[in-house]
Each structure stands twice: as structure tokens, then as C-alpha cells.
């Protein structure tokens, strides 16, 4: 686990494959005192789950100026973790990460997390608890500026995020002066829209797993 002032946050493939969530985490870090990282193993898995027209994860990483972290070793030792996620945990250890941000918190064994000193946390919970108000506002503003078909204000995008990030919306609901969510059906892009953001929000996204929004293990 990292002993530096700013913790390293390792993104799992199921987070990297969701452009809006990924972008929120990446933009919010500028004012939230953490670093983002992922490995080749995770990047490859994320790309397998991207929808058509979504930007390749490697391109996103290169734009952000990030390097891949080294692969972890002896992944099989994490026997309490689901087999498909053992390499993710090993890679997070190799990255000196404090957190794994994942939608599959329950796939990581508590004993393995405790042994490595890493916390596995749902992305919505992480955004709500570990980003700053200014970091969140900056991220939402930057994303809204890229939305053109149709255009969205930061206030509208902020309300839209409540669909999959209810804890984050609750934590920062007054950032843009809003006191309630705007009607979601009035804000969703049309089914014929062909923008990156409309694709990112795709209606096929699974519901947010609030029951798994717990931090397992320990983190400094």
C-alpha cells in the first residue's frame, strides 16, 4: 500500500469500460488528492466490454498522460478472491494502490484485501467520499463542455448523474445550486444521437449496485 500523501486508486475493467464514471474519476482527481492507475490486464478487459464507437482505453490513457502499471505476480495466492479478479488484485498490489475502484466489490475476498492493505470500493461511494466538492464540480463542468448533441449544462449533467451515482449526487447536490434531480427522461439523449456522451450513458447500463457499496479491507 502506498505511503505517499496522495493514494493511488486502481481502476477495475468494469469502471474503465464506463466512460462517464471513468471520466468523473479522472477529472476529479485534479483537486481531490489521489492518483489514477491501471494495468495492461485491466485495459485489455475493459476494451472487450466497450460499446461500438466508444474510445479505446489506451487512447484515453495516452490523452491523460498515464502509464500502465506493472503486472502483479503470484495472483493465485489470493484464493479468497474470484479467479477472474485475482490478477486485478495482484496488479493493484504491484501498483502500490490503496484502493481498487470496482463494481464487483464482493468478488474481492476480505482476507485478501486485509492482507494487502487495499480497499475495494464501489465507484459511486468513492466519488461521494473521496473526491472534493471542487474536484467534482470541475469534472462535471469539463464533461458537460464536451456534450453537443444535445448540449447539456453542468446543472443538467449533475442531475443526470443521479441515475447511476446516487450517493455522489446526494453528497454534492447543491454544488450547482440544484435542490432536486431534473426529470431523467427529459435529459437523456435521443436514441439516434451519435455523440460520445450519449453512447457513454447508454440505456443498457446495468443499475447501480447499492447493496455492494461498502469498503472492504483497510486503507491508509
Average pLDDT, 10 consecutive residues per value, the chain (220 residues)? 74 95 94 95 94 89 94 97 97 97 94 94 94 95 90 90 90 77 41 32 29 36
Q: Which domains does the chain have, with CATH numbers?
A: 8-128 (3.40.50.1010)
Cα separation of 46 and 200, whole Å? 14
pLDDT score of 178: 53
pLDDT of residue 148: 86
Amino acid at each position: 500500500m502506498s505511503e505517499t500523501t496522495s493514494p493511488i486508486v486502481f481502476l477495475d475493467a468494469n469502471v474503465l469500460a464506463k466512460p462517464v464514471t471513468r471520466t468523473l474519476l479522472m477529472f476529479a482527481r485534479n483537486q481531490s488528492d489521489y492518483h489514477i492507475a491501471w494495468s495492461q490486464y485491466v485495459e485489455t478487459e475493459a476494451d472487450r466490454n466497450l460499446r461500438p464507437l466508444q474510445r479505446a482505453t489506451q487512447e484515453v490513457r495516452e490523452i491523460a498522460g498515464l502509464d500502465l502499471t506493472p503486472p502483479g505476480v503470484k495472483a493465485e495466492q489470493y484464493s479468497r478472491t474470484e479467479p477472474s479478479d485475482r490478477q486485478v488484485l495482484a496488479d493493484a498490489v504491484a501498483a502500490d494502490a490503496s484502493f481498487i475502484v470496482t463494481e464487483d466489490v464482493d468478488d474481492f475476498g476480505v482476507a485478501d484485501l486485509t492482507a494487502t492493505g487495499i480497499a475495494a470500493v464501489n465507484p459511486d461511494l468513492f466519488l461521494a467520499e473521496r473526491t472534493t466538492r471542487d474536484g467534482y464540480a470541475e469534472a462535471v463542468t469539463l464533461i458537460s463542455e464536451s456534450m453537443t448533441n444535445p448540449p447539456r449544462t453542468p446543472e443538467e449533467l449533475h442531475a443526470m448523474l443521479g441515475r447511476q451515482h446516487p450517493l455522489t449526487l446526494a453528497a454534492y447536490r447543491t454544488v450547482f445550486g440544484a435542490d432536486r434531480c431534473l426529470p431523467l427522461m427529459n435529459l437523456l439523449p435521443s436514441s439516434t444521437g451519435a455523440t460520445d456522451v450519449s453512447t457513454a450513458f447508454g440505456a443498457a447500463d446495468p443499475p447501480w449496485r447499492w447493496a455492494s457499496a461498502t469498503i472492504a479491507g483497510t486503507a491508509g
